Protein backbone atom coordinates (compact mmCIF):
# COMPACT_ATOMS: atom_id res chain seq x y z
CA UNK A 1 0.00 0.00 0.00
CA UNK A 2 2.93 2.35 0.65
CA UNK A 3 4.24 1.78 -2.89
CA UNK A 4 0.84 2.58 -4.32
CA UNK A 5 0.66 5.77 -2.28
CA UNK A 6 4.05 6.90 -3.64
CA UNK A 7 2.87 6.21 -7.19
CA UNK A 8 -0.28 8.20 -6.52
CA UNK A 9 1.77 11.14 -5.25
CA UNK A 10 3.85 11.05 -8.44
CA UNK A 11 0.66 11.09 -10.52
CA UNK A 12 -0.69 14.04 -8.52
CA UNK A 13 2.54 15.98 -8.97
CA UNK A 14 2.56 15.28 -12.71
CA UNK A 15 -1.06 16.29 -13.23
CA UNK A 16 -0.89 19.43 -11.14
CA UNK A 17 2.32 20.68 -12.75
CA UNK A 18 0.79 20.45 -16.20
CA UNK A 19 -2.57 21.93 -15.18
CA UNK A 20 -1.36 25.32 -14.07
CA UNK A 21 -0.76 27.21 -17.32
CA UNK A 22 -2.50 30.53 -17.15
CA UNK A 23 -2.59 34.02 -18.50
CA UNK A 24 -1.56 37.12 -16.65
CA UNK A 25 -4.04 39.93 -17.05
CA UNK A 26 -3.90 43.56 -16.07
CA UNK A 27 -6.79 45.95 -15.55
CA UNK A 28 -5.63 49.46 -16.24
CA UNK A 29 -7.46 52.55 -17.48
CA UNK A 30 -10.57 50.44 -18.04
CA UNK A 31 -8.70 48.10 -20.42
CA UNK A 32 -7.63 44.47 -20.07
CA UNK A 33 -4.25 43.46 -21.50
CA UNK A 34 -3.18 39.91 -22.33
CA UNK A 35 0.47 39.11 -22.96
CA UNK A 36 1.01 37.22 -26.20
CA UNK A 37 3.31 34.64 -24.63
CA UNK A 38 4.53 33.48 -21.25
CA UNK A 39 7.90 34.93 -20.35
CA UNK A 40 10.00 34.43 -17.25
CA UNK A 41 7.20 36.06 -15.26
CA UNK A 42 4.80 33.54 -16.75
CA UNK A 43 7.05 30.69 -15.66
CA UNK A 44 7.12 32.11 -12.14
CA UNK A 45 3.33 32.24 -12.29
CA UNK A 46 3.24 28.54 -13.23
CA UNK A 47 5.42 27.66 -10.28
CA UNK A 48 3.34 29.79 -7.90
CA UNK A 49 0.10 28.12 -8.97
CA UNK A 50 1.51 24.58 -9.22
CA UNK A 51 2.87 24.55 -5.68
CA UNK A 52 -0.42 25.36 -3.85
CA UNK A 53 -2.37 22.90 -6.00
CA UNK A 54 0.16 20.15 -5.37
CA UNK A 55 0.10 20.86 -1.62
CA UNK A 56 -3.71 20.84 -1.66
CA UNK A 57 -3.81 17.47 -3.43
CA UNK A 58 -1.30 15.98 -0.99
CA UNK A 59 -3.27 17.24 2.02
CA UNK A 60 -6.53 15.92 0.60
CA UNK A 61 -5.06 12.48 -0.12
CA UNK A 62 -3.44 12.36 3.33
CA UNK A 63 -6.72 13.16 5.10
CA UNK A 64 -8.55 10.48 3.15
CA UNK A 65 -5.80 7.89 3.70
CA UNK A 66 -5.83 8.59 7.45
CA UNK A 67 -9.63 8.19 7.64
CA UNK A 68 -9.46 4.96 5.63
CA UNK A 69 -7.16 3.56 8.34
CA UNK A 70 -9.35 4.79 11.20
CA UNK A 71 -12.23 3.08 12.98
CA UNK A 72 -14.67 5.64 11.55
CA UNK A 73 -14.74 4.00 8.12
CA UNK A 74 -17.38 1.45 9.07
CA UNK A 75 -19.57 4.10 10.69
CA UNK A 76 -19.33 6.50 7.74
CA UNK A 77 -20.08 3.80 5.17
CA UNK A 78 -23.40 3.09 6.92
CA UNK A 79 -24.64 6.68 7.02
CA UNK A 80 -27.76 7.19 4.91
CA UNK A 81 -26.70 10.77 4.17
CA UNK A 82 -23.46 9.56 2.56
CA UNK A 83 -24.54 6.45 0.66
CA UNK A 84 -27.75 5.40 -1.06
CA UNK A 85 -29.09 2.09 -2.40
CA UNK A 86 -27.50 3.08 -5.72
CA UNK A 87 -24.04 4.08 -4.53
CA UNK A 88 -23.38 1.99 -1.39
CA UNK A 89 -20.07 0.12 -1.47
CA UNK A 90 -21.43 -2.92 0.35
CA UNK A 91 -23.89 -3.43 -2.51
CA UNK A 92 -21.02 -3.28 -4.99
CA UNK A 93 -19.21 -5.95 -2.96
CA UNK A 94 -22.30 -8.18 -3.00
CA UNK A 95 -22.63 -7.67 -6.74
CA UNK A 96 -18.99 -8.68 -7.19
CA UNK A 97 -19.59 -11.82 -5.12
CA UNK A 98 -22.52 -12.79 -7.33
CA UNK A 99 -20.46 -12.11 -10.46
CA UNK A 100 -17.63 -14.33 -9.19
CA UNK A 101 -20.15 -17.13 -8.63
CA UNK A 102 -21.34 -16.87 -12.24
CA UNK A 103 -24.69 -15.34 -11.23
CA UNK A 104 -25.99 -12.11 -12.69
CA UNK A 105 -25.53 -9.32 -10.10
CA UNK A 106 -28.94 -8.00 -11.16
CA UNK A 107 -30.78 -11.23 -10.42
CA UNK A 108 -31.80 -10.00 -6.97
CA UNK A 109 -32.69 -6.60 -5.55
CA UNK A 110 -29.28 -5.72 -4.12
CA UNK A 111 -27.06 -4.28 -6.84
CA UNK A 112 -28.22 -1.29 -8.88
CA UNK A 113 -25.03 0.17 -10.30
CA UNK A 114 -24.13 0.00 -14.00
CA UNK A 115 -22.22 -2.95 -15.52
CA UNK A 116 -19.16 -0.84 -16.27
CA UNK A 117 -18.81 0.01 -12.58
CA UNK A 118 -18.95 -3.59 -11.42
CA UNK A 119 -16.50 -4.73 -14.10
CA UNK A 120 -14.18 -1.87 -13.22
CA UNK A 121 -14.05 -2.98 -9.59
CA UNK A 122 -13.80 -6.59 -10.67
CA UNK A 123 -10.23 -5.71 -11.65
CA UNK A 124 -9.35 -3.00 -9.12
CA UNK A 125 -11.27 -4.14 -6.04
CA UNK A 126 -8.01 -4.60 -4.15
CA UNK A 127 -7.15 -0.97 -4.86
CA UNK A 128 -10.62 0.46 -4.21
CA UNK A 129 -9.36 3.09 -1.77
CA UNK A 130 -6.81 4.40 -4.26
CA UNK A 131 -9.47 4.37 -6.99
CA UNK A 132 -11.83 6.60 -4.99
CA UNK A 133 -9.04 8.96 -3.94
CA UNK A 134 -7.88 9.20 -7.54
CA UNK A 135 -11.46 9.95 -8.64
CA UNK A 136 -11.57 12.91 -6.24
CA UNK A 137 -8.19 14.12 -7.49
CA UNK A 138 -9.32 13.90 -11.12
CA UNK A 139 -12.52 15.80 -10.29
CA UNK A 140 -10.65 18.58 -8.50
CA UNK A 141 -8.00 18.98 -11.22
CA UNK A 142 -10.65 18.94 -13.96
CA UNK A 143 -12.67 21.63 -12.18
CA UNK A 144 -9.48 23.63 -11.60
CA UNK A 145 -8.58 23.59 -15.28
CA UNK A 146 -12.15 24.28 -16.40
CA UNK A 147 -12.55 27.31 -14.13
CA UNK A 148 -9.16 28.64 -15.13
CA UNK A 149 -10.11 28.48 -18.81
CA UNK A 150 -13.48 30.05 -18.05
CA UNK A 151 -11.77 32.95 -16.24
CA UNK A 152 -9.67 33.63 -19.33
CA UNK A 153 -12.83 33.97 -21.38
CA UNK A 154 -14.40 36.27 -18.78
CA UNK A 155 -11.35 38.53 -19.00
CA UNK A 156 -11.49 38.50 -22.77
CA UNK A 157 -15.17 39.47 -22.87
CA UNK A 158 -14.58 42.24 -20.32
CA UNK A 159 -11.72 43.55 -22.44
CA UNK A 160 -13.87 43.81 -25.56
CA UNK A 161 -16.80 45.31 -23.64
CA UNK A 162 -14.58 47.95 -22.02
CA UNK A 163 -12.95 48.85 -25.33
CA UNK A 164 -16.40 49.27 -26.86
CA UNK A 165 -17.63 51.32 -23.86
CA UNK A 166 -20.57 49.00 -23.32
CA UNK A 167 -20.55 49.35 -19.54
CA UNK A 168 -22.12 52.40 -17.85
CA UNK A 169 -19.59 54.53 -15.99
CA UNK A 170 -21.21 53.98 -12.60
CA UNK A 171 -20.86 50.18 -12.75
CA UNK A 172 -17.13 49.90 -13.38
CA UNK A 173 -16.75 48.78 -9.77
CA UNK A 174 -18.58 45.58 -10.78
CA UNK A 175 -15.84 44.66 -13.24
CA UNK A 176 -13.89 41.63 -12.10
CA UNK A 177 -10.19 42.30 -11.61
CA UNK A 178 -7.33 39.83 -12.05
CA UNK A 179 -6.41 40.17 -8.37
CA UNK A 180 -9.76 38.89 -7.13
CA UNK A 181 -9.82 36.04 -9.67
CA UNK A 182 -6.20 34.96 -9.23
CA UNK A 183 -6.88 32.12 -6.80
CA UNK A 184 -10.44 31.22 -7.83
CA UNK A 185 -9.42 27.96 -9.63
CA UNK A 186 -7.47 26.91 -6.54
CA UNK A 187 -10.42 27.79 -4.30
CA UNK A 188 -12.70 25.64 -6.45
CA UNK A 189 -10.37 22.66 -6.07
CA UNK A 190 -10.13 23.36 -2.33
CA UNK A 191 -13.91 23.64 -1.95
CA UNK A 192 -14.25 20.22 -3.51
CA UNK A 193 -11.33 18.32 -1.98
CA UNK A 194 -11.63 19.66 1.57
CA UNK A 195 -15.41 19.73 1.71
CA UNK A 196 -16.49 17.35 4.52
CA UNK A 197 -19.24 16.04 2.23
CA UNK A 198 -16.66 15.01 -0.38
CA UNK A 199 -14.35 13.47 2.22
CA UNK A 200 -17.19 11.45 3.79
CA UNK A 201 -18.33 10.25 0.37
CA UNK A 202 -14.79 9.12 -0.51
CA UNK A 203 -14.19 7.37 2.82
CA UNK A 204 -17.54 5.57 2.49
CA UNK A 205 -16.42 4.49 -1.01
CA UNK A 206 -19.63 5.82 -2.51
CA UNK A 207 -19.71 5.48 -6.28
CA UNK A 208 -21.04 9.04 -6.36
CA UNK A 209 -17.38 10.11 -6.47
CA UNK A 210 -16.93 8.33 -9.80
CA UNK A 211 -20.04 10.04 -11.19
CA UNK A 212 -18.67 13.41 -10.09
CA UNK A 213 -15.38 12.68 -11.86
CA UNK A 214 -17.21 11.94 -15.13
CA UNK A 215 -19.30 15.13 -14.84
CA UNK A 216 -16.17 17.18 -14.06
CA UNK A 217 -14.45 15.80 -17.16
CA UNK A 218 -17.55 16.65 -19.17
CA UNK A 219 -17.44 20.25 -17.87
CA UNK A 220 -13.72 20.50 -18.68
CA UNK A 221 -14.20 19.13 -22.20
CA UNK A 222 -17.10 21.51 -22.82
CA UNK A 223 -15.26 24.62 -21.61
CA UNK A 224 -12.20 23.61 -23.62
CA UNK A 225 -14.47 23.44 -26.69
CA UNK A 226 -13.88 19.75 -27.47
CA UNK A 227 -17.25 18.70 -28.93
CA UNK A 228 -16.47 14.99 -29.23
CA UNK A 229 -15.14 14.54 -25.69
CA UNK A 230 -18.01 16.63 -24.31
CA UNK A 231 -20.54 14.32 -25.98
CA UNK A 232 -18.67 11.19 -24.84
CA UNK A 233 -18.43 12.24 -21.18
CA UNK A 234 -22.04 13.46 -21.17
CA UNK A 235 -23.20 10.09 -22.51
CA UNK A 236 -21.12 8.34 -19.85
CA UNK A 237 -22.64 10.55 -17.13
CA UNK A 238 -26.14 9.85 -18.48
CA UNK A 239 -25.34 6.14 -18.56
CA UNK A 240 -24.37 6.28 -14.89
CA UNK A 241 -27.44 8.27 -13.86
CA UNK A 242 -30.21 9.50 -16.11
CA UNK A 243 -30.37 13.01 -14.67
CA UNK A 244 -27.18 14.48 -16.28
CA UNK A 245 -29.12 14.42 -19.55
CA UNK A 246 -30.27 17.93 -18.57
CA UNK A 247 -26.67 19.14 -18.92
CA UNK A 248 -27.01 18.73 -22.67
CA UNK A 249 -28.66 22.17 -22.97
CA UNK A 250 -25.85 24.23 -21.37
CA UNK A 251 -23.25 22.20 -23.25
CA UNK A 252 -24.90 22.99 -26.58
CA UNK A 253 -25.29 26.68 -25.68
CA UNK A 254 -21.66 26.98 -24.61
CA UNK A 255 -20.21 25.15 -27.61
CA UNK A 256 -22.33 27.16 -30.04
CA UNK A 257 -21.26 30.35 -28.29
CA UNK A 258 -17.64 29.31 -28.58
CA UNK A 259 -18.01 28.59 -32.30
CA UNK A 260 -20.01 31.80 -32.91
CA UNK A 261 -23.15 29.94 -33.96
CA UNK A 262 -26.23 32.06 -33.12
CA UNK A 263 -29.13 30.50 -31.22
CA UNK A 264 -31.60 31.03 -34.03
CA UNK A 265 -34.15 28.41 -35.03
CA UNK A 266 -34.15 29.73 -38.61
CA UNK A 267 -30.42 29.22 -39.08
CA UNK A 268 -29.26 26.02 -40.75
CA UNK A 269 -25.98 26.15 -38.82
CA UNK A 270 -27.92 25.99 -35.54
CA UNK A 271 -29.75 22.78 -36.43
CA UNK A 272 -26.68 21.27 -38.10
CA UNK A 273 -24.60 21.70 -34.94
CA UNK A 274 -27.36 20.21 -32.76
CA UNK A 275 -27.58 17.24 -35.15
CA UNK A 276 -23.81 16.73 -34.97
CA UNK A 277 -23.74 16.84 -31.19
CA UNK A 278 -26.80 14.59 -30.91
CA UNK A 279 -25.19 12.07 -33.27
CA UNK A 280 -21.98 11.98 -31.21
CA UNK A 281 -23.90 11.82 -27.93
CA UNK A 282 -26.34 9.10 -29.00
CA UNK A 283 -23.59 7.17 -30.80
CA UNK A 284 -21.42 7.18 -27.66
CA UNK A 285 -24.40 6.15 -25.53
CA UNK A 286 -25.21 3.33 -27.94
CA UNK A 287 -21.61 2.07 -27.79
CA UNK A 288 -21.58 2.17 -23.96
CA UNK A 289 -24.94 0.38 -23.69
CA UNK A 290 -23.80 -2.19 -26.25
CA UNK A 291 -20.56 -2.75 -24.35
CA UNK A 292 -22.57 -3.31 -21.17
CA UNK A 293 -24.69 -5.93 -22.93
CA UNK A 294 -21.54 -7.58 -24.30
CA UNK A 295 -19.99 -7.78 -20.81
CA UNK A 296 -23.14 -8.95 -19.04
CA UNK A 297 -24.73 -11.04 -21.77
CA UNK A 298 -28.25 -9.76 -21.01
CA UNK A 299 -30.37 -6.65 -20.65
CA UNK A 300 -31.12 -7.32 -16.98
CA UNK A 301 -29.34 -4.17 -15.91
CA UNK A 302 -31.79 -1.81 -17.66
CA UNK A 303 -34.72 -2.31 -15.24
CA UNK A 304 -32.36 -2.85 -12.29
CA UNK A 305 -30.53 0.45 -12.84
CA UNK A 306 -32.74 2.89 -14.70
CA UNK A 307 -36.04 1.37 -13.66
CA UNK A 308 -34.83 1.53 -10.06
CA UNK A 309 -33.91 5.22 -10.40
CA UNK A 310 -37.23 6.19 -11.98
CA UNK A 311 -39.68 3.99 -10.04
CA UNK A 312 -38.04 4.50 -6.60
CA UNK A 313 -38.96 1.10 -5.08
CA UNK A 314 -36.43 1.33 -2.22
CA UNK A 315 -37.66 3.83 0.37
CA UNK A 316 -34.57 3.76 2.58
CA UNK A 317 -34.30 7.20 4.28
CA UNK A 318 -31.92 9.65 2.66
CA UNK A 319 -31.48 13.41 2.29
CA UNK A 320 -33.89 13.54 -0.67
CA UNK A 321 -37.57 14.35 -0.96
CA UNK A 322 -38.89 11.03 -2.26
CA UNK A 323 -38.64 8.44 0.50
CA UNK A 324 -41.03 9.80 3.15
CA UNK A 325 -43.60 11.07 0.69
CA UNK A 326 -43.94 7.73 -1.11
CA UNK A 327 -43.84 5.76 2.13
CA UNK A 328 -47.06 7.57 3.09
CA UNK A 329 -48.54 7.51 -0.42
CA UNK A 330 -51.61 5.45 -1.34
CA UNK A 331 -50.64 2.95 -4.02
CA UNK A 332 -53.20 4.08 -6.62
CA UNK A 333 -51.76 7.64 -6.49
CA UNK A 334 -48.15 6.51 -6.67
CA UNK A 335 -47.65 6.63 -10.46
CA UNK A 336 -49.05 10.14 -10.80
CA UNK A 337 -46.94 11.66 -8.04
CA UNK A 338 -43.92 9.69 -9.20
CA UNK A 339 -44.18 11.45 -12.57
CA UNK A 340 -44.67 14.80 -10.84
CA UNK A 341 -41.57 14.34 -8.66
CA UNK A 342 -39.34 13.01 -11.46
CA UNK A 343 -40.31 15.72 -13.91
CA UNK A 344 -38.93 18.37 -11.54
CA UNK A 345 -35.35 17.60 -12.57
CA UNK A 346 -36.13 18.01 -16.26
CA UNK A 347 -38.82 20.69 -16.10
CA UNK A 348 -36.54 23.58 -15.10
CA UNK A 349 -34.11 22.97 -17.97
CA UNK A 350 -36.10 24.85 -20.63
CA UNK A 351 -36.89 28.07 -18.68
CA UNK A 352 -33.40 28.24 -17.24
CA UNK A 353 -31.86 27.69 -20.68
CA UNK A 354 -33.97 30.50 -22.12
CA UNK A 355 -33.06 32.92 -19.32
CA UNK A 356 -29.36 31.98 -19.18
CA UNK A 357 -28.66 31.26 -22.85
CA UNK A 358 -25.87 33.85 -22.82
CA UNK A 359 -24.34 32.38 -19.64
CA UNK A 360 -24.11 28.59 -20.10
CA UNK A 361 -21.48 28.06 -17.36
CA UNK A 362 -23.79 29.52 -14.74
CA UNK A 363 -26.54 27.36 -16.25
CA UNK A 364 -24.37 24.28 -15.62
CA UNK A 365 -24.09 25.32 -11.98
CA UNK A 366 -27.87 25.75 -11.73
CA UNK A 367 -28.56 22.39 -13.39
CA UNK A 368 -26.14 20.55 -11.09
CA UNK A 369 -27.91 22.08 -8.09
CA UNK A 370 -31.35 21.12 -9.42
CA UNK A 371 -30.19 17.54 -10.01
CA UNK A 372 -28.72 17.20 -6.51
CA UNK A 373 -31.93 18.52 -4.90
CA UNK A 374 -34.59 16.70 -6.92
CA UNK A 375 -33.00 13.36 -7.87
CA UNK A 376 -34.54 10.24 -6.36
CA UNK A 377 -31.50 9.02 -4.38
CA UNK A 378 -29.30 12.03 -3.53
CA UNK A 379 -26.25 11.95 -1.27
CA UNK A 380 -23.96 14.59 0.17
CA UNK A 381 -21.47 13.82 -2.59
CA UNK A 382 -23.91 15.25 -5.17
CA UNK A 383 -24.19 18.46 -3.16
CA UNK A 384 -20.40 18.80 -2.89
CA UNK A 385 -20.06 19.01 -6.68
CA UNK A 386 -22.15 22.13 -7.18
CA UNK A 387 -20.92 23.73 -3.93
CA UNK A 388 -17.42 23.63 -5.43
CA UNK A 389 -18.53 26.27 -7.94
CA UNK A 390 -19.40 28.86 -5.29
CA UNK A 391 -15.95 30.57 -5.44
CA UNK A 392 -16.53 31.18 -9.16
CA UNK A 393 -19.45 33.42 -8.22
CA UNK A 394 -17.72 35.20 -5.35
CA UNK A 395 -18.26 38.52 -7.15
CA UNK A 396 -22.01 38.11 -6.53
CA UNK A 397 -21.72 38.36 -2.73
CA UNK A 398 -22.72 42.02 -2.62
CA UNK A 399 -26.08 41.10 -4.18
CA UNK A 400 -26.86 38.03 -2.07
CA UNK A 401 -29.72 38.55 0.38
CA UNK A 402 -29.93 35.43 2.57
CA UNK A 403 -26.47 33.91 2.42
CA UNK A 404 -25.80 34.07 6.18
CA UNK A 405 -29.15 32.58 7.16
CA UNK A 406 -28.95 29.84 4.52
CA UNK A 407 -25.39 28.95 5.52
CA UNK A 408 -26.42 28.62 9.17
CA UNK A 409 -29.39 26.43 8.25
CA UNK A 410 -27.24 24.14 6.08
CA UNK A 411 -24.65 23.77 8.85
CA UNK A 412 -27.30 23.15 11.51
CA UNK A 413 -29.08 20.55 9.38
CA UNK A 414 -25.82 18.77 8.63
CA UNK A 415 -25.13 18.52 12.36
CA UNK A 416 -28.69 17.41 13.20
CA UNK A 417 -28.89 14.60 10.64
CA UNK A 418 -27.01 12.04 12.77
CA UNK A 419 -28.65 13.31 15.98
CA UNK A 420 -32.22 12.81 14.78
CA UNK A 421 -31.29 9.51 13.13
CA UNK A 422 -29.99 8.25 16.46
CA UNK A 423 -33.11 9.44 18.28
CA UNK A 424 -35.32 7.69 15.71
CA UNK A 425 -33.52 4.40 15.09
CA UNK A 426 -31.59 3.73 18.29
CA UNK A 427 -33.12 5.72 21.17
CA UNK A 428 -36.71 5.33 19.96
CA UNK A 429 -37.61 8.76 21.33
CA UNK A 430 -38.39 10.21 17.88
CA UNK A 431 -39.95 9.00 14.66
CA UNK A 432 -39.55 9.40 10.90
CA UNK A 433 -41.31 12.78 10.97
CA UNK A 434 -38.38 14.31 12.85
CA UNK A 435 -35.81 13.07 10.35
CA UNK A 436 -37.87 14.05 7.33
CA UNK A 437 -38.46 17.51 8.81
CA UNK A 438 -34.73 18.18 8.96
CA UNK A 439 -34.36 16.70 5.45
CA UNK A 440 -37.06 19.03 4.17
CA UNK A 441 -35.42 22.02 5.83
CA UNK A 442 -32.05 21.04 4.34
CA UNK A 443 -33.51 20.94 0.82
CA UNK A 444 -35.40 24.21 1.32
CA UNK A 445 -32.10 25.81 2.36
CA UNK A 446 -30.47 24.50 -0.82
CA UNK A 447 -33.29 25.92 -2.93
CA UNK A 448 -32.94 29.30 -1.19
CA UNK A 449 -29.18 29.22 -1.75
CA UNK A 450 -29.49 28.50 -5.46
CA UNK A 451 -32.30 31.00 -6.01
CA UNK A 452 -30.31 33.65 -4.14
CA UNK A 453 -27.32 33.15 -6.44
CA UNK A 454 -29.68 33.18 -9.43
CA UNK A 455 -31.13 36.52 -8.32
CA UNK A 456 -27.66 37.96 -7.63
CA UNK A 457 -26.37 36.87 -11.04
CA UNK A 458 -29.31 38.40 -12.92
CA UNK A 459 -29.11 41.58 -10.88
CA UNK A 460 -25.41 42.06 -11.66
CA UNK A 461 -26.03 41.51 -15.37
CA UNK A 462 -28.85 44.06 -15.24
CA UNK A 463 -26.60 46.62 -13.57
CA UNK A 464 -23.87 46.02 -16.18
CA UNK A 465 -26.42 46.94 -18.83
CA UNK A 466 -28.40 49.76 -17.24
CA UNK A 467 -26.10 51.09 -14.53
CA UNK A 468 -25.59 50.46 -10.86
CA UNK A 469 -27.85 53.21 -9.52
CA UNK A 470 -31.29 52.79 -11.05
CA UNK A 471 -33.72 55.70 -11.19
CA UNK A 472 -37.44 55.93 -11.86
CA UNK A 473 -38.89 58.42 -14.33
CA UNK A 474 -39.55 60.84 -11.51
CA UNK A 475 -35.89 60.68 -10.42
CA UNK A 476 -36.44 58.60 -7.26
CA UNK A 477 -34.38 55.49 -6.53
CA UNK A 478 -35.71 52.32 -8.17
CA UNK A 479 -35.77 48.84 -6.65
CA UNK A 480 -34.89 45.79 -8.75
CA UNK A 481 -37.27 42.86 -8.25
CA UNK A 482 -36.82 39.37 -9.65
CA UNK A 483 -40.07 37.97 -11.06
Residue 259 exposed, middle or buried by CB count within 10 Å (0-12, 13-18, 19+): exposed
pTM value is 0.88
DSSP state for residue 476 in the 8-state scheme: S
Q: What is the pLDDT of residue 482?
A: 63
Supply the angle between the helices 403-421 and 432-466 in degrees, to the nearest 10. Answer: 160
The answer to whether residues 10 and 52 touch, using CB atoms and an 8 Å cutoff, is: no
Q: What is the pLDDT of residue 435?
A: 93
Q: What is the pLDDT of residue 5?
A: 44
Alpha helices in 125-267 (DSSP H): 128-163, 178-181, 184-193, 196-203, 208-224, 227-240, 248-258
Q: What is the pLDDT of residue 475?
A: 64
Q: What is the pLDDT of residue 1?
A: 36
Q: What is the pLDDT of residue 483?
A: 63
Per domain, the residue ranges of the chain are 40-397
Query: What averages of pLDDT result for each successive group of 10 residues across the chain (483 residues)?
Result: 40 40 37 38 52 91 94 91 93 92 87 92 91 96 95 87 78 80 92 95 95 97 95 96 95 93 89 95 96 90 93 92 90 90 92 93 96 95 96 92 94 94 90 92 96 94 81 67 65
Helix H or strand E segment including 318: none
Residue 223 exposed, middle or buried by CB count within 10 Å (0-12, 13-18, 19+): buried
The answer to whether residues 392 and 144 touch, using CB atoms and an 8 Å cutoff, is: no
Q: How far is CA 344 from CA 142, 282, 453, in A?
A: 28, 23, 19
DSSP class per residue in 361-425? HHHHHHHHHHHHHHSSS--HHHHHHHHTTGGGGGGGGGG-SSHHHHHHHHHHHHHHHHHHHIIII
Q: Cβ neighbours of residue 316 under 8 Å, at least 6 residues apart?
A: 80, 84, 85, 323
Q: What is the pLDDT of residue 8?
A: 44
Helix (H/G/I), strand (E/B), else coil: 477:
strand
Amino acid sequence: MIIISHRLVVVILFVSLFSCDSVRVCLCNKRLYFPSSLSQGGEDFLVKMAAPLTLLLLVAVTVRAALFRSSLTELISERVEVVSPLTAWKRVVEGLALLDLGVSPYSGDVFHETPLIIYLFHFVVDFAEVTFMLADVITAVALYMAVKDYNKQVFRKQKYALEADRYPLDCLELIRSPKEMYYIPLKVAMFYLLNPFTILSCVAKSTCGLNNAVIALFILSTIKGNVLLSAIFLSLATYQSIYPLTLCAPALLYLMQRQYIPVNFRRTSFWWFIAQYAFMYLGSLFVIVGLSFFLLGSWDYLPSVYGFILSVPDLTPNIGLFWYFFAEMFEHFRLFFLCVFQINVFFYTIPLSIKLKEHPVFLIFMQLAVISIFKSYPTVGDIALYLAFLPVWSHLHRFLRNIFLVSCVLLACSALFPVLWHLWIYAGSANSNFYYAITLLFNVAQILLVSDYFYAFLRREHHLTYGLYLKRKDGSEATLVLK
